[in-house]
Amino acid sequence: MIAVENQAPVSENAIPKDASDGFVVPESNAFGQSFRDYESSVRLSIVENCYRLNHIYQTYDFVKKTREEYAKLNKAEMSIWEAIELLDSFVDESDPDIDEPQIQHLLQSAEAIRKDYPDEDWLHLTALIHDLGKVLFHSKFGSLPQWAVTGDTHPVGCAFDESIVYHKYFKENPDYNNPAYNTKLGVYSEGCGLENVLMSWGHDDYMYMVAKANGTILPSAALFTIRYHSFYPMHTEGAYQYLLNEEDRENLKWVRTFNKYDLYSKSSVRIDVEKVKPYYESLIKKYFPKKLRW
């Protein structure tokens, strides 16, 4: 993997805020229900089936093979905004909180975090592109099924923590009964660092690889957030802490701050794309090359 050089620093005045600070968390999602409700969501059957397939087929071998394939970055060459436009009609089957096209989710989360952190433009851009790896669903990228694109992520190669949503379906995963992979540490060691942990394959890790290999100057906190924002068992449930190193724990503060803007900004009220586009295009130009290898 290409190393990232000349990364922009995080301002000394930029302090990760607690969930109670700044952004006002709404009482309900776009459907008038509780957020991340996996028992009574109006989208329950769609969401549950997506996770069922994810938990059955995301094996250590599948992830290793798929990650190696997509690390070649030979699927397409396009700008960040061109990739955003590919998501104009994409609806995430794993999300119980909204059925709006993903381009709206990207802009809603970016605009929400922009209000609380007006001087931290790297955070605005991080929010804009955090789900951009969902282009994996597109024919240009092999039309991967949603169970290999969306949803919460988790480590493979060690035991599946019970905090993972729809954990029951892991019993059908070949790794579940494999003694090489079903212990607490599995193939890993205590404090090895998430950089050395293979995560279930999806949009998080893919966008991280794209950003890093194309020489973005976004700070390391941004890359960590992109890579692990869907790792809910870690940043929300406190699972897998024994795999983290000190750098992971420091960056985790930003993931937890980012999470509320990612989760609670989801709304049926649409952002005017053309109105905000010039601002975000200026950030893309600042932090990324004009064209990227995907």
Q: Which residues are annotated as a binding site?
A: 36, 92-94, 105, 130-131, 134, 151-152, 203, 229-230, 262
* Structure token digits, residue 272: 């005017």
What SS3 state is found at 153?
coil
Binding-site residues for substrate? 36, 92-94, 134, 151-152, 229-230
- What CA–CA distance (Å, rounded) separates 228 from 218? 15
Q: 228: number of CA atoms within 13 Å, CB side?
A: 27
The gap between the terminal CA atoms of the chain, to the nearest Å, is: 13
Q: Containing H/E element for 77?
A: strand 77-78
- What CA–CA distance (Å, rounded) separates 2 from 25? 38
- What CA–CA distance (Å, rounded) separates 276 from 274? 6
SS3 content of the chain, % helix, strand, coil (to 5): 50, 0, 50
Binding-site residues for Fe cation? 105, 130-131, 203, 229, 262
Phi then psi dihedrals of residue 155, to 5 deg: -65, 150
